[in-house]
Structure 1
Amino acid sequence: MLRTAIRNLLAHKARLTMSALAVVLGVAFVSGTLTFTDALNKTFTDLFKDAAADVSVEPKAAFDTGMGGMDMNSASSSLPASMVEKVRAADGVAAAAGYVQADGVYVLDRDGHVADTGGAPGIGISWTTDPKLNSATLIEGRAPTGTDEVAIDSATTADLGYHVGDKVTVLTTGPRLQATLVGTFRFGQDGGLAGASMTAFETATAQRLLLAPGRFTEVGVAAEDGTTHAQLASRLASELGSRYQVTTKEQKAADQAASLEDSLAFINTFLLVFAGVALFVGSFLILNTFSMLVAQRTRELALLRALGASRRQVTRSVLLEAGVLGLLGSTIGLAGGFALAYGLKAMFGQFGLTIDGALSLTAGTVAWSYVIGVVITLVAAYLPARRAAKVPPVAAMRADLVTTPRPLHTRTIIGVTGAPLAATALGAGTAGGTLPLVAVGAVGLLVAVIILSPVLAVPFVQRVGRVLPRLAGTTGRLAKENAMRNPRRTAATSSALMIGLALVTGFSIIGASARASIDRTVDDVLRADYVMSAVMGQPFTAKVANQVRRVDGVKSVVVERYGTAKVAGHEGFFSAYDPAVVGDALAIDMTDGKLADLAPDTILVSRKEAGSAGLSKGDSVRFEVANGQSRRLRVAGAYGDDNGLGPYVIAMDTYTATGGVPLDQNVYVTLDPTADAAAAHRALDRVVAAYPVVQLRDADGYKQDKRAGIDQLLALINALLALSVLIAALGVVNTLVLSVTERTREVGLMRALGMNRRQVRRMVRLEAVVISLYGAVLGIGLGTVLGVVLTTVLHSQGLVATAVPVPLLAFGLALAAVIGLVAAAVPARHAARLNVLDAISTA
């Protein structure tokens, strides 16, 4: 049977090649994703290990916010210089040094533009003079020692074309610095910074620019020989008390890696979901291929049974073919995945996720690739294999064997029963905002549509096919009848395209709804004429707002700052404003109380948060921020959930009193109605020109900036979904090739009766177009339902508007027709070139 399986594979090389290609693409995406994410994790893990001292002493956060740069990087949540001496005096300490680190430090190029990090942060650090504690190694020049000297990582200096001795401009969250580049350095063992730029200052200068004089972000400690990191950390923790966090090099790297893993979980899941989609769609292609091959080999399989082969042997023969196909496809896919990983590396590098090290295949990636590729192929081939085993031996003796399609009664009953149940789950999940129930309903509806697809194919082809005889006469009528002849084949051919277009449609609706939600929120909430914000969402110096206040024609300036707090035991995001002027910039829809009630020692709560936390106007709550400071605040009112403000709003005095970082996230500028708008705009441009990281946007520009991230994500999603559409197109090609082969004698008879080659080609193309349109209609309809449902469920997450991109959906229909035409090119050519006499004589 092994030789028989191999012979069958070699006898159908062209047909099975396309099925193998489905495995190749699916496995390539899995292996490429795993290779990329492994390299990404390794890049950051190595960076964390390089950055950590033997033992680190830091201020202890009251709770983990995931926003340490915003909540902990202030004088009130840092370490005094005296802590260094205290740590240095402890037993087992070989060396100790204070260290300063902050984000928001950028080097300008020679044209005054911010160095492009692709979204990665710009980091400022203090230069540590003790080599035992310094993770940086000088490559050229010397360390900075004066207030106007800096050292910059070698990758950034190479990108900007700077050399030791050049004058450079450095932007910090405080003042701008004109400095001399006195050295370049490599950070860690390989110099990898994952795309970030790093600028080093002399310690006192770093404290003044980035934190506060005499304060440190952390204290790095080197252990004496004979003292383990764990022993030293335990000793320091006992001496310093519970107010400080003492961690070993290994603990800190592991904690940061775990935090990174949580942050990158979305990327890993995101990519693996699309890999799953590719495999799912590819499984339909494999199933369809083996089903048709088994049907066409009925007499051959019956002959094997007549010669003594058991059902089990016939089943094993078909599964063996599938296993060989899976192994071959997985091997090629593994190699393709490595190439794909390089593409993902370049693509995500544009978003700031830069991998510095080389990519490598791990044993886990290889094992998963083969397991997935082979298992998917075997599962897809199992049902055809079982059908092959049931072929009676007498079938080999019949010259006029005709396979009678099985009735669709069972499918109809299951589909008609399952679809309402899935729709009920969708409705209940939508009404209750329950995502798990919505997911169950969505999967159930998808399965129901797949089951009902052969049933729905007949009326669809009947109605749409009416136009074919009008367009192409007898050729069109034959194309219609061919599409209707085997509804299972039509459904299987179109299913892959249906799934791909359903996903594209659903994500397109979510993306369009997100864009519409941004526009509506900005239109409803923003009253200010201009918004100032920094690139990549970084906080920026308060000097910008102070200078804007002095511009002629400016009526009010509203500063917005962010943070994370625990309020009544609930952790959430908060915004801080000056209560006296916030109404000039933002129209906050109050559902209980008045905006004017916001004052020091009060808090406003979103309606949703008030409901979940059981808060009402007048309640007293404990407001605690990550640095450990807290105050009792009175709930002054509640606001609607469509404001985009998060769950809490506090007064700026409260923010300052609890040690908030004195850096702005947004500055809203409102002009006096009588002011010269053009002159005011020019003056604001001059202010911004001195701070290249800050952008000035009017309402339309602000909406465009907010939409840019969504557009990038959608472009990435659609690029990945194009893989499933490609596999779907391969499925149409494969099915039509097999269909033409199955109808060889029929095509020969039509040619003998007068049909020319051009008419044969047209017949096959029209059949492909009808099948593709059927898949597109089902996919776009299903995707529209799921997209609208998801946007409704995500209303509380900021998707306040639902938008259906009708032109894009119409383009999807047209694309389906084009896919049908392109997919039919090879089968149509093959059908037209059949030799008439040979075709007629085919058994």
Structure 2
Amino acid sequence: MTALIDRWRLFALRESVKHRGRTIASVTVMAVSAAFLVSVFGIFGSLTGSVDRLVGGIAGSAALEVTGVTDSGFPASIRDDIASTPGVVAAVPMVRTQVDSHSGPLLLLGADASATALDSDLQRAVEQQLAALVSTTNGVLVGTGVGATTGDIIQLGSHRVTVAGVIRDGASARLNEGHFVLTSLAIAQRVTGHAGRLDSVMIVAEPHADSEGLREAVDRAVNGRALVAEPSVRAVQTGNGVRILQYMTLMGAALAFIVAAFLIYTTMTMAIAQRRPTISMLRAVGGRRRTIVGDLLAEAAVIGLIGGMAGSVIGIGFGRIAIDTLPVALMQSVEARTVYSLPLYAIPLAVGAAVCTSVTASAVAAYQVYKVSPIEALAPVGASVADQVRLWLRVAAICVTVGGLTVSVVLVLLRLGDFFWSGFALSMFFGAGIALCFATIGGLVRAAAWVARRFGRAGELAAATLERAPRRVWATMMTVFMAVTVTITITGANNDLLNSVRSSLGAVGDVDVWVASHPPEQFPTTALPSGLAAEVATLPGVAHVTEGQLGYATLGTEKVILYGLDHGSVSPMYQDLDPQVRADVVAGHGMVLSRDLSRALGVGIGDELSIRTPRGLQRTRVLGVVSYFSALTGTAGIGLNQMSDWFDRPGATLLQVEAAPGVDEAQLLASIRQSSPSEVYVYSGAESLAGVEGAIRQGMAVANAVWVIVVLIAAIALLNTLTLSVLERRREIGVLRAMGASRRVTLGMVLAEAAGISVVGGGLGLLFGMASQFFFDSVTPDIMNIDVAYRPNSMVLVFTAAAIGLSLLGSIPPALRAARLNIIEAVSIE
């Protein structure tokens, strides 16, 4: 151990301090990569963690929960059937929904005296101020997040209630972070307009009861009128709803680590080159290769550890900020108030990934220690057998390329419709591209040298430098390659997705006026005031009003968006069907499913489907399967009347208004807005389409952050590599200057070297980026559940030019440093 510490102090630590730029660059890229990974874990851990805490605070000792299929709940009489089931100690009826208030959305909880059987935060909240709650007319208890005091009158939806008390102490006060309203069951039913209905029944089981047997018994008692599951299923459904973003961001984090690995490789290669005299001396006095390599890997592990820990701290801050930027439509389905919560595994995993990436990349570079003899190591830095790529490695890379491409193409053709396999196909495709570049390393280096020679005498010197260090040149070229590829792939695929969504929702923008219960960027899932459709239809200038409904529902185990469709609806769930199928769906003869929901339920066109409704199990037939961009785990559509009847959701949640010929749309919009209640949203078709696109762009913001981070890492890598290249050759540059080479030639040599690397790397990235954009578009139907058309964009040339420009810009500091080298110091022996 003492020897290890001495070697670390004398060699690794001294070199790291001496070459601060290299060390800082390595730590920085690992920190950025780790920060991105920690922020991703923090975002999605916060979503599921918030729901978990809320579920635990309400459920307590409950073994099962019976919940409504939709937000309309189920008949309260079901509770009595559950309570009489053998093995049930208590069946606690509850109203559990979100309501609007002066302080924003609040969780409304209504329960009766049986809630004391739960032994939960909810039960303790009731016990604390039960007397005040019972003695107050229309009384409610509120959390501290409501911002009210005892005696205040607050508005919940269209009802006014009196604050009987504020829960400030204990775990009860932390329920939903204090943003809750607790009241009696009767008052909660009146506030929500669901008289005689429940949202949930919490079941406390007898000790040592058979969980499966109890669940089957309760399921028989419910008889298909509600869902029976463990309380934790709510958190599972929340996790399923954000799978798209989760997989995309995790893939982005993986790309960041891949680019960081290239920088670590080039950095360690340079470090070994600079230490060749020291390494040769150690070898000459009996130092073992294993010991030298072990020290290098230990140094890399420390760099990864420091970078991972620093990045974890930064990632926590990024995650906190990102929580507030998630798509509103996505967060609308999450009942819990989302607060930042970092999973325990996040930091260890991010630090571990940083250390493993740094050590693995360094191990590839450190392998040359085994290949260089002490005699060769004592020679001035130049061409080395360690830098040559053997034939068997190139053949292996070709095999990896063919295998990766084959697997990725087969997975796309199989259309498995699974996030994991789609992500695996993309990874294999990217891996095949990198392997192909490695297999053609000789040709790529010669191409870079050819570009460098276009710059005259300075270019000839640069070409010679490039050709004698193929691995270093290739690794540096790959940073530019990855930056251009990722930029073109993500921006191009995002634009293709937006264009496809815009095309599929084009009819939404053609509607003259929309009347809805929510703003255009959210799903209108709340019923509009009764009679509003008839009132709007009588307004001057209105030709026709089409009613529609949206609501959250559970089909099987999947939480989905359910559409109630009527004749003339512009929803793709209606427009993409044949005329006869449209008529059958509206008439209630069957339903239409989105592609992802069809896969999840394992049914197709013509199959029979049993679904739970408040009126019991209903059998229907799948009449159509459409390509539709789903925000959750799927979308389904049925006739409007059938939705109202089966799910007890009378009325409409949105109105599609068609103007009479010659009527000014702006005036009609103002007229409808003036005549509608203040809680109703009225907007144009263009605003509706912009709202949908805005919600999608919010989701894409995370993906866009990926390519920004990758480009940042690539820029650091290129700057670092070229700087180290100058430092490595300062003696050679000093000799050239002593022989009469001007500062201009020296400056041009470094710039020509950068131009060769960046032009070839950028051009290669352009070609592969366009190919990967096409491949990503082919996989998108399995990820986003919508067919995406590949559209080449002229902006790819701009991105490529920007990458090349960035590379050249990054080469200016090392080029100036080379030009300003002191001749005497440069040629002196260290």
Q: TM-score, normalised by structure 1?
A: 0.80
Counterpart-to-counterpart distance in 2, 1:344 and 1:283: 24
Give the Cα–Cα distance (whole angstroms) in 2 for the partners of residues 274 and 777 of structure 1: 22
Query: 2:11 maps to what in 1?
Result: 8
Mapped to 2, the partners of 1:219 and 1:609 lie a distance apart of 30
**1:406-456 deviation digits (Å, cap 9, x = unpaired):** 267556545556545544555554455455584365144223334146334
Find the residue that maps to 1:439 and give its secondary structure. helix
Partner of 1:661: 649
Distance 1:611 1:30 in 2: 32
Name the SS of the counterpart of 2:123 in structure 1.
Answer: coil
Matches within 5 A, 1:328-407: 328-351=303-326, 362=344, 364=345, 367-369=348-350, 371-395=352-376, 403=384, 406=388
> Aligned to 1:497, which of 480, 483, 487?
480
Q: CA deviation at 1:819?
A: 3.1
The separation in 2 between residues aligned to 1:186 and 1:620, in whole angstroms, is: 54
CA distance in 1, matches of 2:340, 2:581: 58
What SS is found at the alignment partner of 1:560? strand
Mapping of residues 397-476 of structure 1, within 5 Å: 403=384, 406=388, 409-410=391-392, 413-414=395-396, 419=401, 422-433=404-415, 436=422, 438-439=425-426, 441-452=428-439, 454-458=441-445, 460-461=447-448, 464-465=451-452, 468-469=455-456, 474-475=457-458
> What's the CA shift string for 1:709-746, capped at 9, x where partnerless?
22122222222443333322222122212211221122
Aligned to 1:813: 800
With over 3 angstroms needed to count, the CA separation of the structure-2 counterparts of 1:335 and 1:746, relative to structure 1, is: closer
- Which residue of the partner structure matches residue 155 of structure 1? 145
My pick for the range that moved more, 291-300 or 828-837, is: 291-300
CA shift at 1:106, angstroms?
0.8
Contact 2:407 2:428 in 1 (8 A): yes
Q: Distance in 1 between matches of 2:683 and 2:160?
A: 27
Q: Secondary structure at the match of 2:656?
A: strand
1:835 matched to 2:822? The reply is yes
Q: Which residue of 2 aligns with 1:206?
A: 188
Q: What is the rounded CA distance, in whole Å, between the counterparts of 1:671 and 1:592 in structure 2?
A: 24
CA distance in structure 2 between the aligned counterparts of 1:406 and 1:787, rounded to whole angstroms: 33
Q: Residue type matched to 1:19 in 2?
A: S
Alpha-carbon spacing, 1:768–1:546, altered in 2? closer, same or farther (3 Å) = farther
Deviations 1:205-255 (A, max 9, x none): 3213325323333345789xxx75x55999987997732499xxxx94544
Q: 1:775 to 1:531 in 2, by over 3 A?
A: farther
Name the structure 2 match of 1:51: 58
Structure 1: distance between partners of 2:72 and 2:493: 38
| Structure 1 position 735 matched with structure 2 position 735 | no
Is the alpha carbon distance of 1:428 and 1:653 closer, same or farther for their aligned partners in structure 2, counting shifts above 3 Å? same
User: Conserved in 2, the CA contact under 8 Å of 1:18 and 1:730?
Assistant: yes
The match for 2:108 is 124
- 1:287 aligned residue: 265
Distance 1:682 1:565 in 2: 37
Is the counterpart of residue 23 in structure 1 residue 30 in structure 2?
Answer: yes
Question: Structure 1 residues 271 and 147, CA, compared in 2 at 3 Å: closer, same or farther?
Answer: farther
Cα 1:58/1:699, change in 2 over 3 Å: same
SS in 2 for 1:537: coil
Match of 1:681 among 651, 656, 669: 669
CA separation of 1:261 and 1:585: change in aligned 2, threshold 3 A:
closer
Report if aligned partners of 2:303, 2:358 keep a CA contact under 8 Å in 1. no
Which residue number corresponds to residue 719 of structure 1? 705
* Runs of at least 5 residues in structure 2 that lack an aligned partner in the other structure: 117-121
Asked whether the 8 Å contact 1:151–1:184 carries over to 2, the reply is yes
What is the CA distance between 1:508 and its match in structure 2? Answer: 1.6
In structure 2, how many angstroms separate the alpha carbons of the residues matched to 1:607 and 1:598? 14
Q: Distance in 2 between matches of 1:791 and 1:733?
A: 33
Matched, 1:519 2:502: yes
Q: 1:140, 1:480 → 2: CA distance?
A: 84
Match status 1:319 vs 2:317: no
Deviation of 1:131 after TM superposition, in Å, equals 7.9
Q: Indicate how the Cα distance of structure 1 residues 599 and 489 shifts in structure 2: closer, same or farther if over 3 A, else same.
A: closer
> Helix, strand or coil: the match of 2:367?
helix
Q: 1:755: how far off? A: 4.2
Quick check: 1:782 aligned with 2:768? yes
Query: Is the 1:585–1:669 contact (alpha carbons within 8 Å) kept by the matching residues of 2?
Result: no
Measured at CA, do residues 790 and 628 of structure 1 come closer, stay the same or move farther in structure 2, by a change above 3 Å?
Answer: farther
For residues 558-603 of structure 1, give each alpha carbon's deviation from its aligned partner in whole angstroms, at most 9, with x where no partner exists.
3133565769x99987532234x44899972444735344453412
1:80 Cα deviation from its structure 2 partner? 2.7
The residue that corresponds to 1:552 in the other structure is: 540
Q: Would you say the 8 A contact 1:422–1:445 is kept in 2?
A: yes
Sort the Cα spacing of 1:169 and 1:361 in 2 relative to 1 into closer, same or farther, 3 A: closer
Q: Distance in 2 between matches of 1:44 and 1:170?
A: 22
SS of 1:540 mapped into structure 2: coil
Taking the aligned partners of 1:127 and 1:802, their CA distance within structure 2 comes to 51
Distance in 1 (alpha carbons) for counterparts of 2:409 and 2:214: 57
Matched position secondary structure for 2:761: helix
SS of equivalent to 2:471? helix
Matches within 5 A, 1:205-354: 205-210=187-192, 212-220=194-202, 228=207, 242-244=220-222, 252-263=230-241, 269-309=247-287, 313-351=288-326
Structure 2: distance between partners of 1:821 and 1:140: 72
Instruction: Return the alpha-carbon distance in structure 2 between the equivalents of residues 615 and 153 of structure 1.
Output: 47
Structure 2 vs 1, CA of residues 826 and 508 (structure 1 numbering), >3 Å: closer, same or farther? Answer: same
Q: CA deviation at 1:521?
A: 1.1
Alignment partners' CA distance in 2, 1:774 and 1:803: 25
SS in 2 for 1:54: coil
Does the 8 A contact of 1:153 with 1:185 survive in 2? yes
* Secondary structure class of the residue paired with 1:661: coil
Q: Could you tell me which of 573, 582, 587 is aligned with 1:600? A: 587
Would the aligned equivalents of 2:43 and 2:340 in 1 still touch at CA under 8 Å?
Answer: no
Report the alpha carbon displacement of residue 837 of structure 1 after superposing the two structures with TM: 1.9
**Number of residue equivalences:** 789
Change (3 A) 1:425 1:258: closer
Give the Cα separation in 1 of the matches to 2:240 and 2:596. 24
CA shift in 2, pair 1:368/1:775, >3 Å: same
1:73 match: 71
Supply the distance in 2 between the matched residues of 1:614 and 1:204 (Cα, whole angstroms).
41
Amino acid of the structure 1 residue aligned with 2:144: S
CA contact (8 A) 2:397 2:436 kept: yes
Matching residue's letter, 2:299: V
Q: How far, CA to CA, are the matches of 2:515 and 2:189 in structure 1? A: 27
The alignment partner of 1:559 has SS state of strand
Q: Give 1:515 shift.
A: 1.0
Give the aligned residue type for 2:100.
Y
Q: 1:63 corresponds to which residue?
A: none
Measured against aligned partners, the alpha-carbon deviations of 1:358-402 in whole angstroms (never above 9, x if no partner) come to 86784x556545543433333222233332123223336667975
Whether 1:578 aligns to 2:566 is yes
Q: Which amino acid in 2 is paired with 1:519? A: R
Of 93, 101, 108 in structure 2, the residue corresponding to residue 107 of structure 1 is 101
Counterpart CA distance in 2 for 1:768 and 1:305 is 34
Report the Cα distance in structure 2 between the residues aligned to 1:423 and 1:477, rounded to whole angstroms. Answer: 37
Instruction: Please give the alpha-carbon distance, in whole angstroms, between the structure 2 residues aligned to 1:28 and 1:643.
Output: 30
3-state SS of the aligned residue for 1:738? Answer: helix
- 1:515-558 deviation line (CA, Å, top 9, x unaligned): 10121112257653233442432511132545433433221223
Alpha-carbon distance change, 381 to 6 in structure 1, aligned in 2, over 3 angstroms:
farther
